[in-house]
Chains A and B, each alone.
Chain A
Amino acid sequence: MSTTAVAVATRKSLRFYDTTVGKKAVMAVSGVVLFGFVLAHMAGNLQIYEGPEKLNAYAKLLRAMPAALWGARLTLLLMVVLHIWSSVKLALLNKLEARPTGYVRHKSQTAGYAARTMYWSGPIILCFVIYHLMEFTLGVGGTPYQEGNVYANVVAGFKVLPVSAFYILSMILLGMHLSHGLSSLFRSLGFDHPRYTPVIKHLAIAIGTLIVIGNISIPISVLAGWVK
C-alpha cells in the first residue's frame, strides 16, 4: 500500500450518471438496443434477394404503421444520443484528463485491436448513418431516388462505386465495433464468468462478422451485377 497517505478527502456521493461505471452502463444498454436495430435492419435488407416486389412491400408495410415507425425512430434517436453522450464524456476523461503526461515508451500487452479503435470507428459509423439516412430515407444523397421504390434506389445507389466503397468500409468498422461492444457490455453490466465469458467473446466476433458479410453482400451483389 502507498507510503504517502495524506488526509482523507471529504467524500461526496456522486450521482449515477456522474460516475464512470454509470456512464458505461448507459453506453451498454443503449448499445444493445442499437445492436437489435442493426440486426433487424439487416434481416429486412436481405429481402432484396427475393426481388423488388418483396422488398418494396416490406418497406410499405413499415410505413403503413406511422405510430410504430415514429416510436421506433424516436427510441433509436434517444439511444444514439445516450450512446454518443456517454462515450464522448468518457473519451474526454480518458484521453485528455486521466493521464496528462504520457509515457516515453509504451507497449500494449493485449491484442484488442477492435477495442482500441472504438474511438474512431464510432464517429465514422455516425457519419455513415447520417449519409445513409440522407441517401435512402430523405433522397438527398446525390444518387437517383424514387419515393417508395426502395429496390431501385438501392441498386442505383450502389452502382456508384465510391458510395459502395464507403458502405463496405463502414460495415467493416461496424463489425469491429460490435465485436468489442457485444462482449464488453456484459462486463460493464456486471457479468463475467470463467465458463461463459470466453464463449461470449467468440460469439461477439462471430456476430460482428456475420453482420459485415450480410450487409456488404448487397453492394457487392449490385456492383457484380447479380442484383439489378
Chain B
Amino acid sequence: MKLILHIWRQKNAASAGRMVRYEAGDMNPDMSMLEALDVLNERLIEKGEEPVAFEHDCREGICGSCGFMINGVAHGPQRLTTTCQLTLRHFKDGDELYLEPWRAKAFPVLKDLMVDRGAFDRIIAAGGYISVSTGSAPDGNAIPVAKDNADRAMDAAACIGCGACVAACPNAAAALFTGAKITHLGLLPQGEPERHERALNMVAQWNIEGFGACTNLGECEAACPKGIRLEVIARMNHDYLAASCHRR
C-alpha cells in the first residue's frame, strides 16, 4: 500500500521545524507505524538524506518510549494502542498521515518526532516512589490488601508514561499521568504513609514544569493507550486537597 506522510522535521532543539511531505509507496499493511518509518528511513539513508528521528524501545506497547501525533490524535486512531502497536492496515491505500511530535512547553522537541519527557521523570522524583528499606524480602501476604484496592492500583500502574495524555490535552496538563502514579501508590498499604506528601510534591512539580491545568475534558482518557481512567485525577485532587488541609 501507499501512504503520503507529512512529517515534522526539526534538526535540533534550537532550530525551527517544518512539515515535510514523503510518498511512501510499497508498504506492507501488516507493518507497524514504526516499521513504516524504518522502511522510509532506509530509503532516505540510501538517498543520502537524514532519517526521521523517533523514540522506540520495546515495540510491544509496554515501555512507553514511542508515540507521536497521527492526524491530530495521540498514538493514532486506534484506541488503547501505542504507536508501535498500530498497524498500517487501519489506514487506507493512499491515505495522507500527518505525523507530529507531542506538543507542550514541558516537552521540548529534541529532533523530528522526539521530545524530551524529562519533566515526567522529575514529577516521579518528586514523590512517585515509596520510602522503604530494601534488603531482606518481606513475607508474601504479610500485609493484607483489599481486592478492590489491589485491582484499582494495578489499573493505575498500567501507565507507561508515554505522554499521550499531555499531548492530547488541549491544555497540555499532566493530570492523568500524575494522578495515575498517585493512585497506584496511594491505594496500597506501602504507599499510604506518604500519601499526602506525595500529592503535594508531585502536583507542585507538575506545575513547576509548566504543564497546563486540568479542565476535565477527558481527552487524555480517550488518548491513553493503557486505558487509565479520569478517576485517577479525582483521587489526586482529593489527596492534594486533603493534604493541604492537614498540612501543619
Identify the A interface with B (CB < 8 A): 1-6, 8-9, 11-14, 16, 18-25, 90, 93-94, 97-110, 112, 115-116, 118, 180, 184, 186-194, 197
* A4 contacts across to B, CB distance below 8 A: 110, 116-118
* A116 contacts across to B, CB distance below 8 A: 170, 217
B104 to A99, Cβ gap below 8 A?
Answer: yes
Chain B interface secondary structure, helix, strand, loop or mixed?
A: mixed
The interface on chain B, measured as residues whose beta carbon lies within 8 A of the other chain's beta carbons, has a size of 70
Identify the B interface with A (CB < 8 A): 6, 8, 19, 55, 57, 63-65, 69, 71-73, 98, 100, 103-106, 109-110, 116-118, 120-122, 124-126, 160-161, 168, 170-173, 200-201, 203-219, 222-223, 230-231, 233-242, 244
B171 to A98, Cβ gap below 8 A?
Answer: yes
Task: Give how many A-B residue pairs fall within 8 Å (CB-CB).
Answer: 180
B72 to A13, Cβ gap below 8 A?
Answer: no
A109 to B105, Cβ gap below 8 A?
Answer: no
B204 to A90, Cβ gap below 8 A?
Answer: no
Most buried by B among A9, A94, A98, A100: A98
A170 to B236 CA separation, bound complex (whole angstroms): 34
With A1-B124, A109-B223, A192-B233 given, can you name 20 additional A-B contacts, CB distance below 8 Å?
Answer: A1-B117, A2-B117, A2-B121, A4-B118, A9-B122, A9-B209, A11-B204, A12-B204, A14-B203, A18-B207, A19-B240, A20-B173, A24-B237, A94-B171, A94-B173, A97-B105, A104-B98, A105-B72, A115-B217, A192-B230
* A190 contacts across to B, CB distance below 8 A: 234-235, 237-242
* B65 contacts across to A, CB distance below 8 A: 3
A110 to B216, Cβ gap below 8 A?
Answer: no
28 A-B pairs whose Cβ atoms sit less than 8 Å apart in the complex = A1-B121, A2-B120, A4-B117, A4-B118, A9-B208, A14-B203, A16-B244, A19-B207, A20-B212, A21-B203, A21-B240, A24-B214, A25-B241, A93-B212, A93-B213, A98-B105, A99-B104, A99-B172, A101-B103, A103-B100, A104-B8, A104-B19, A105-B69, A109-B73, A184-B216, A188-B237, A192-B231, A192-B233
A70 to B160 CA separation, bound complex (whole angstroms): 54
